[in-house]
Structure 1
Amino acid sequence: MPAKDVLTTEQVHANLTALPQWRYGMGALRTALKCESSASALALFATIGALAQEANHHPDVDWRYNTLFITLTSHDAGSKVTARDAALARSISAEATSAGAIAKPELLHTVEIAIDTDDVDAISESWRLALGYKRQEDGSITDPFGRGPGIWFQETATPNANRLHLDITVPFSESASILDGLEATGASLDHGAAPRFVVATDAQGNRFCVCTEKGREAY
């Protein structure tokens, strides 16, 4: 039975006004919390685990030395953001503040690999089998354990000569400084689809997209 507490785009952003440590991106609530030490990060990790057990709603948490990367979404709702995610985010934020953790939204970078193809079915299964990934409803493939980058297939009658490019999703609040930095490196930027994504081309012609949550729907 599908979950009934899925939040609309407007509701997601309304919740974010009370969650300054969190950002919305890639269909999830996300934060990066920097702690005073590795030990304090582990202690906060344990606290988050206890909150999750109590709520029977479990986030994805990645511990990296003194920083925790946390992603909240509801698998029973088709990996969409629900009221349960917002509630758990509030609880985590309260504990993080008490522990002296500092939100670092500039660390929230999510990488996907996009492959140009004129025949998705001819290649997608090869990639899925090699990586041990799971096929999603939209035809993309993802690591069921969230360790590797997602892969999606950009169907086009005229595949680019360089068929692979990266989609790098960052919070919109951090995107301006990233794009300014890219221009300073000599990369050219195509803002035609901004703010949803900006196509960057480096000095040797390699492309990647800097994507944000702006212009994407939460459901």
Structure 2
Amino acid sequence: MPEWITPRQFHESAGVDDWRVLANGVSAHFRTGSFDAGVDLLEAIGELAAAAHDPDVDLRSSGVTVRLMADEQHGLSRRDADLARDISTAARRLGAAADPTAVQDVQVGVDALDIPAVRAFWRAVLGYREVGDEDLLDPYARGPSVWFQKMDAPRPERNRIHLDVSVPHDQAEARVAAALAAGGRLVTAGHAPSWWVLADAEGNEVCVTTWMGRD
């Protein structure tokens, strides 16, 4: 039986400094500098995963991004922390440095009066799968997830679709500052450091979110 842990317990685990808890699991990016070096790291990850569980791996010419998906019901487990530590050890052995600024999750939020009816449309048009009562996930883990927020009454004066950008907890304030410097405005920081609500020059909203508050 897996030992389930909180995001905070994951970050307090030994040897996981390269990794960051995001909306849909825990991720790390390792700069390899070449495709061949990335393949070497991928092979090492494959050997480690064979004795643990399968991660999602994105191989590019410049680096390798690894995501350990949280269990949809329970979240993270101790084996996630153990595998993360082992992958980091392998990356260091191969000379691949971690870059925590290169990981994020993007989620689309849809406000709806009738969530089942609206969600059915988006599931069909995107080819996604349903998770729980509110979420849709790309079965190939290529596109952003979609979640649905219940509205009590129509709100025609504001947009009803927004983005959530889940970033590492130690990168959030810099990301917010960059967005404000680029012409955005702060709608509310009342829930920081869990999330900030920002808007562009025409009022379209986005939330910058972290795991903080999901202890």
Q: Structure 2 length normalisation: TM-score? A: 0.91
1:30 aligned to 2:27?
Answer: yes
* Displacement of 1:9: 4.2
Question: Structure 2 vs 1, CA of residues 210 and 8 (structure 1 numbering), >3 Å: closer, same or farther?
Answer: closer
* Displacement of 1:65: 1.8
Alignment of 1:53-64 (within 5 A): 53=50, 55-64=51-60
* Aligned counterparts of 1:34 and 1:104: Cα–Cα separation in 2: 7
Q: Partner amino acid for 2:212? A: K
* Aligned counterparts of 1:213 and 1:88: Cα–Cα separation in 2: 20
Q: Partner amino acid for 1:78? A: Q
Secondary structure of the residue that 1:78 maps to in structure 2? coil
* Aligned counterparts of 1:27 and 1:201: Cα–Cα separation in 2: 24
Structure 1 segments unaligned to the other structure (5+ residues): none
Please point out which of 92, 110, 118 is paired with 1:115. Answer: 110
Tell me how many residue pairs correspond in the alignment.
Answer: 212
The structure that is strand-richer by fraction is: 2
* Aligned counterparts of 1:194 and 1:213: Cα–Cα separation in 2: 11
Secondary structure of the residue that 1:173 maps to in structure 2? coil
1:166 aligned to 2:166?
Answer: no
- The equivalent residue for 1:201 is 199
* Contact 1:44 1:95 (8 Å CA) reproduced: yes
| Identity %, equivalent residues | 35
Alignment of 1:54-133 (within 5 A): 55-73=51-69, 75=71, 78=73, 80-133=75-128
Q: Over the residues paired in the alignment, what is the CA RMSD in angstroms?
A: 1.7
* Aligned counterparts of 1:71 and 1:124: Cα–Cα separation in 2: 26
- The equivalent residue for 2:40 is 43
Q: Structure 1 length normalisation: TM-score? A: 0.90
The structure that is helix-richer by fraction is: 1
Alignment of 1:178-197 (within 5 A): 178-189=175-186, 190-197=188-195
Question: Structure 2 vs 1, CA of residues 162 and 21 (structure 1 numbering), >3 Å: closer, same or farther?
Answer: same
Question: Structure 2 vs 1, CA of residues 74 and 193 (structure 1 numbering), >3 Å: closer, same or farther?
Answer: closer
